[in-house]
Amino acid sequence: MSVHQIRPNLDHWQERVDLAAAFRWTERLNMHEAVSNHFSLAVNEDGTQFLMNPNQVHFSRIKASDLLFLDANDPNTLDKPDAPDATAWGLHGAIHRRVPHARCAMHVHSIHATVLASLADSRLPAIDQNTAIFHDRIVIDENFGGLAFEEEGERCATLFTNPKQKVMIMGNHGIMVIGDTVSETFNRMYFFERAAETYIRALQTGQPLRYIPDEIAEKTAAEIEVYDSQDVRHLKELKAILDDEGSNYAS
């Protein structure tokens, strides 16, 4: 029997499976941070009800049935027995209240993205294909305010004003990536980390960089946005690998 047939009686099951797969693969890529990072996915029309990882559970162990169902407009969320991490609630609750175009949100402290967030100039110039796909699609937070409890989470959410900008470089912190689906958002997060790594490694050579002209960078970014279902195929392949290995992510 396929693992996708072994399922509890829970709503939004396919969304849960996709999100659980994203957690598992993020850990495999070493883009997680102990039990501190978090992903969420809106499941109602206005985006205020969402799934999110349970408090302090390692990404490598998260299953579809573990995911919390939360309401961004519920002021009593943190008082409940199965309350999420307070910083996860601060960031993701604010995003799902304030940013309707952010159906999915993924926050990590992945190494190269965080190095970029730690530079005085956190811009990501177009120097190869991966960096080019983020041309003019990044917002930089220059005002880190400490742990992302509710006030800091609200401040961060206000920076996602341009729907074109789907990656926030959280200065001195990490990144927040948003999108319409788990596959789209995970794919964007993956390629941003790869792009940041290319840029950081290029800087380390000390050699002059070969910059891509703005018009070519924009052309590349626009082309990747209509590329035929790359994100869907990417996540599908990752789930197939997990299934072949007998993973319990989809349980």
Backbone angles phi, psi at 124, to 5 degrees: -115, 95
CA–CA dist 113, 90 (Å, integer) = 21
pLDDT in tens, 78-137: 999 999 999 999 999 999 999 999 999 999 999 999 999 999 999 999 999 999 999 999
Residue 2 has pLDDT above 50, yes or no: no
138 forms bridges with which residues in the sheet? Answer: 167
pLDDT of 213: 98
CATH architecture type of domain 9-244: 3-Layer(aba) Sandwich (3.40)
CA–CA dist 3, 63 (Å, integer) = 11
pLDDT in tens, 47-82: 999 999 999 999 999 999 999 999 999 999 999 999
Question: Is the model's pTM score more than 0.85?
Answer: yes
